[in-house]
Amino acid sequence: MGSIASKGQLRMSFVRWAAFVVPLVLLLGFLSGRSVPAGNENAWYVALAKPAFTPPGWVFPVAWTVLYILIGFALASILAARGARLRVLGAALFAGQFALNLAWTPLFFGAHKVGTALVVIVAILALSVATTYVFSRIRVSAAAMMVPYLAWLAFAGVLNWQIVQLNPNAETIVPAGGTSQMIG
C-alpha cells in the first residue's frame, strides 16, 4: 500500500497530531511554570535587581501561552509529515530543547541558579535554532512557527544575562521580611 496520501488525509493527520501535541505542550509548560512560585508570586524574584526593559509580570504567561501553541503546531506539522527523511531528528531536537525549557523555570525561580539558568537558556536557544533549521527542511511553515519562539528565547536570554550581571549574589538574596522559600 505505497500510494500517496490525499490532501484530506494529510490535513486529518495534522489535525490529529495537533489535537494531541498542542494541549500536551501547553500542559507541560503550565506544569513547569506552576512547579515553583514564579514572577511576581516569587518574593526572591521580586527582590532581584532587574533591567529597565523587564516586561510587566502579566506579559510572561501570555507570551508563553502563545509561544507554546505555536511550537506545538510546528511539532504537529513535523509529526504529520510521514516519510519525511528528517522527521525523527526534528522531533528529537524539539524534545531536547523542550525538556531544557521545562527545566528552566524550576532552576531559575526555585533553585535561584541564575547563572546556570543562563547556560540552560543558551542551550535551549542553540537546540531551537537547530530544530528550526531541521523543521525548515521538512516544512517551511513549521520553521516559521518557531521564529517567534526563537526571538523570545533571545530576549529571555538577554534578560537572564542582565539579571546575572545585576545580581552577582542572586542565590543568597533573602527578600525583606524573610521568606519560607528555600534558598541555596
pLDDT at res. 183: 47
pLDDT band at 12 (very low <50, low <70, confident <90, very high): confident
At 76 the pLDDT is 97
Q: How confident is the model at residue 2 (pLDDT cuts 50, 70, 90)?
A: low
Question: Cell numbers at residue 11, please?
Answer: 490535513
Q: Is the pLDDT of residue 26 over 90?
A: yes
Give the C-alpha separation, 76 to 108, whole Å.
29
Asked if pLDDT for residue 3 goes beyond 90, the answer is: no
pTM: 0.89
